[in-house]
Amino acid sequence: MKRPVPSSFKQNRLPLAITLILHASLLGGLLYFGKSDPLIPPKPLQAILVTPEQLQQMQDSAASATPLPSDEAPATEPVAEPVDDPIAEPEPTVEPEPAVEPEPTGPTSEQLAALKAAELKAVADQKKQQQEAQQKARAEAQKKEAEEKAAKQKEMQEKTAEAKKQQQELAAQKAAEAKQQQAKAEAERKAEQAKADTQAKRQAELEAKRKAIQDAKLKATEEKADMKHKAEEEAKAKAAEDAKRKQQDAKQQEKQKAAEAKKRQVEDAKRQAEAEQKRKAEQDAKVKAAEEKKRQIAEDAKRKTEADRKAKADAEKAKADAEKQRAQDAQAKANADAKRKADVEAKAKADSDAKKKAASDAKAKADADAKRKAADAKAKADSEAKAKAAEDAKRKADEGKAKAAEDAKRKAEEEARNKAADEAKAKADAKAEAKKVAAVSTAGFQNRMKSAWRKPAGCDGNSAKARISLTPSGQVASVVLTKSSGNDDCDASIRAAIEQAAPYDMPDDPEARKLAQRLEPTFK
């Protein structure tokens, strides 16, 4: 399994490459300068004071002398290799000292020989010194070079160790990050695996449960199919019995409702009769009270008339007595003065006539007023009694009508509720019965389909689910495989079995037939 590259390594790839290139260049430069030869130090210059003659002799002797071959050179003298040093150190310059003026006397042969020997010795010494200086410089250079090389090597080793340490730390960090990422990935993988295992387990449990339910349904369907005729006969008998029982129940309920309605009508009639009797009694009482009031008014009028008549009789009697007394007085006085008596009698007669006339007019007026008042009182009493009786009759009629309307409304509502409840119950019973009949029919359809199904090779272990629509006559309208078995031959055999098993025996009940037109069997 390929290990995933950490994201931190991808981000630090360019800086790491640059660092490695710089380290490689540095190591190459150090190795190059460490293997190259050291620089040759400049030769020291020595000044010798000679005269011009001595210089000429030395030049002549040097020209005449035979040069030494290259192979006779000391073995210890190394041959300096040219070094391409970009920075060349300048040779030290020695200023010549002022020459001492020689003496005018020329040297002797011994002096010349000694001078030549001294010159040769000086040359030999100079060469020896040069060789020693070269050996010493070479040794110092080698030592310095070794020290520098050791220092550079140490520095390189330190840098290499530091780089190695950084690389190790980086590698450790990357390893830790990679380990952390790997642990995280492993944890996520384990979580996903656990989730997948849990889901697979749940799916397996659901599949097992579904399979058990399907097996149970299939077994129940098979058992139902085996008992199809018996179930149909029992269903038909039960349906007939239920219908008969429902008819009996309906008749009983109708009888009971009719008895209750009749009883309510009798009670309502009784209540109405009682109310009518009570109303009539109240009306009779009111009429009787009105007649009693009328009789009392008549008696009061009669008593008043009698009192008026008696008062009039008393007045007339008093008047007669007064007249008699006046007549007696007039008769007694008539003897005294006839003329005055005649005048008094004439005047009294005139007064008596006037009083009689006034009394007669007053009596006629009183009689007329009493009759008119009695007629008015009677008319008013009759009008009030009639208005009250009409009002009571209207109120009682309104109350009776309202009560009758309320009773009729309550009765209609109760009948409507009972009718709705009966209809709902009948519909629910019919729907339940239709579902039951449709379930029996669809189970029979599925058994016929599975009996007609011929499984092709390679169909074992596969399952398919179909959604079938039938016509009211039992023909196949449409077949849709909602779940394919994964095998085209198996799917084609399922379709062929469904078509071959048609036409199907549809239930007689319209609702059951409608429910049986849709089914979703499973083929295994």
Looking at 262-271, 475-484, 515-524, which range is the least confident one?
Answer: 262-271
Tokens of 308: 């008026």
Q: Calculate the CA 119 to chain-centre distance.
A: 118
Cα-based distances in Å from 467 to 443, 522, 523: 14, 9, 12
Is the Cβ–Cβ distance between 386 and 291 less than 8 Å? no
- Structural domain including 506 reads 427-523
**What digits encode the pLDDT tens for the residues 308-355?**
888 888 878 878 887 888 878 777 777 777 777 777 777 888 888 888
Judge whether 473 lies within some domain.
yes
Contacts of 494 (CB under 8 A, 6+ apart): 453, 464, 466, 481, 485, 523
Residue 78: what pLDDT?
42
pLDDT-derived band at 94, boundaries 50, 70, 90: very low
Query: For residue 333, what are the CA distances in angstroms to 84, 248, 318, 327, 339?
Result: 212, 122, 22, 9, 11
CA 143 – CA 373 distance, rounded (Å):
174
The pLDDT of residue 87: 41
Q: What pLDDT is stored for residue 21 in this prediction? A: 92
| Number of independent structural domains in the chain | 1
Which of 12-26, 228-242, 410-424 is least confident?
A: 228-242
Secondary-structure percent of the chain, ordered helix, strand, coil, rounded to 5: 75, 5, 20
Burial of 18 (C-beta count, 10 Å sphere; 0-12/13-18/19+): exposed
Q: Does residue 6 lie within any of the structural domains?
A: no
- Tell me how far CA of residue 457 lies from CA of 460, 461, 490, in angstroms: 7, 11, 8
State yes or no: pLDDT of 81 exceeds 70: no
Give the pLDDT of residue 347.
82
Q: Which pLDDT value is given to residue 253?
A: 79
User: What would the pLDDT profile of 205-236 be if each residue is shown by its tens digit?
Assistant: 777 777 777 777 777 667 776 677 676 777 77
With tokens 């991808």, the residue in question is 10
CA 344 to chain centre: 131
Q: Which residue has the higher pLDDT, 256 or 5?
A: 256
Residue 36 has pLDDT above 70, yes or no: no
> What pLDDT does residue 92 have?
45
Determine the average pLDDT of the residues in 2-12: 61
- For residue 295, tell me if it sits in a domain: no
Look at residue 492 and tell me if it is in a domain. yes
3-state secondary structure of 479: strand
CATH number of the domain enclosing 510: 3.30.1150.10
pLDDT bracket for residue 2 (50, 70, 90) = low
Q: What is the pLDDT of residue 329?
A: 79
Q: Tell me which DSSP letter residue 106 carries.
A: P
Judge whether 373 and 301 are in contact, CB under 8 Å.
yes
Residue 491 lies in a domain: yes
**Mean pLDDT score of the chain:** 78
- pLDDT one-digit tens code per residue, 63-73: 665 454 444 44
Segment 458-479 mean pLDDT: 86
- Reading the block at residue 131, the tokens are 């060789």
Using one digit for the tens of pLDDT, what is the confidence trace for 359-418?
888 888 888 888 888 888 888 888 888 888 888 888 888 888 888 888 899 989 989 989
Supply the pLDDT for residue 65: 57
Long-range Cβ contacts of 398-405 (<8 Å, 24+ apart)? 399/275, 400/272, 400/275, 400/276, 403/272, 403/275, 404/268, 404/272
Paired tokens of 332: 């007694």
Q: Is residue 472 part of a domain?
A: yes
